Amino acid sequence: MIPYGKHYIDEDDIKAVVDVLKGKLLTQGPAVEAFEVAVAQYVGAKYAVAVSSGTAALHLAYIAAGVKKGNSVVTSPITFVATANASRYCGGDVLFADIDPDTINMSPTSLKQLLSNNLNVRLVTPVHFAGVPCDMVLIKALADQAGAVVIEDAAHALGSVYPSGQRVGSCENSLMTIFSFHPVKAIATGEGGMITTNDEGIYRRLLRLRSHGINKMDDSFLFSELAETSGKINPWYYEMQELGFHYRITDIQCALGLSQFKKLNKFIECRRNLAKKYDKFFESKKGFTITQSGWRDLSAHHLYVLRIDFSLLGITRFEFINKLRSKGIIPQVHYIPVPLHPYYRKLGFDEKSIPNAMQYYEEALSIPLFFELTEHEQEFVMNSIALE
């Protein structure tokens, strides 16, 4: 079977994990900090905090940004539900800005309208869909005017580059950026996520929040009479200074992440070349529209999405997908617009305010794109999709 995406593991990855398993610390050890330092240096951010998943990263970032009951978070409807759900975890509301049809990212025009009509927006979370960077300069300017904070959802975008040349995650135009290391992402840790920031106060709070609200490092203790004996710190003492969570990641996962990270540039180059080959093949095919082709040299290419006029081809998407599956090809749809899910419909959302997202959803199909996709397999995929 040829899936839409998959991870790649080699002997170096296996050895890295085995080395940790043979060591003294399986969690809260040196591999976690080494992974954080590697990612922070790569993207150009001062700080990075590794956590158990991309969803955990969103949750902690939203808390650190001050999202609470009475606030709203604006994000894209074309994303995984976690981007919106994190606001609900904090007691906040969610607003959805429509997408730009070319980038499939948040439309600054739609964002501007939402911000002008909603004065309780605390946070704007643009999603770098499939790895294509959003217009962060304009989004940040609009958020600043509204008194809102910006957090970038870069779950698809480790290795992506802004037009400025800075890497996504540098937080050049945001307070924080989150990444995901789920197996179909750019690099895999099994499950895992990370938050980058340039704000030391935010960084220290994230460290506490991921570990029950406790930081045993160098935070000042609030109750010195309990913390000290004769002016010296009691070696057993620690303080839970706020309500936190158990969102730690293990050294096992971070060892895998570090090993995978060494191959990131190779992974992205391969994905970019595969995407360009798809572009060349489908550009002349009737009924098929290439998405995001103008951003190939900036994107990390998490996904390759075609827009297909199924009615022109005389077939439903259901029938089309089943034909591909019968040939051993497993495409996917990214994503069902978040407002269409029953939970959000019950909150009063509908599709009328997001026409671009709805049109995209009717036509979208993610086709196989991953490091081990062979030339023969890609040819087979292309010919099968083109019904040749």
Query: Tell me, what's the pLDDT at 290?
Result: 98
Domains of the chain listed by start with CATH number: 2-261 (3.40.640.10), 264-385 (3.90.1150.10)
The letter for the amino acid at 238 is Y
Nearest to 186 by CA among 116, 269, 245: 269
The token duo for 264 is: 């990131």
Query: Tell me, what's the pLDDT at 387?
Result: 85
Q: In angstroms, how far is the first alpha carbon of the chain from the final one?
A: 19
Helix spans in 327-374 (H): 342-346, 355-363
The token duo for 76 is: 């894209």
Query: Tell me, what's the pLDDT at 131?
Result: 98
Length reported for the chain: 388
The residues, ordered by sequence, that sit 6+ positions from 119 with a Cβ below 8 Å of its Cβ are: 146
- Segment-wise mean pLDDT, segments of 10 residues, the chain, 388 residues: 97 98 96 98 98 98 98 98 98 98 98 97 98 98 98 98 98 98 96 98 96 84 94 93 97 98 98 98 97 98 98 97 98 98 94 96 98 98 93
Q: Using CA atoms, how far apart are residues 105 and 83, in angstroms rounded to an integer?
A: 13
Query: Tell me, what's the pLDDT at 215?
Result: 78
- The C-alpha R_g of the chain, in whole angstroms, comes to 22
Strands 121-125 and 288-290: unpaired
Three-state SS for 351?
helix
Query: Tell me, what's the pLDDT at 219?
Result: 80
Three-state SS for 303?
coil
Query: Tell me, what's the pLDDT at 217?
Result: 66
* pTM of the predicted model as reported, rounded to 2 decimal places: 0.97
Query: Tell me, what's the pLDDT at 138?
Result: 98
Q: Other C-beta atoms within 10 Å of 255: how many?
A: 27
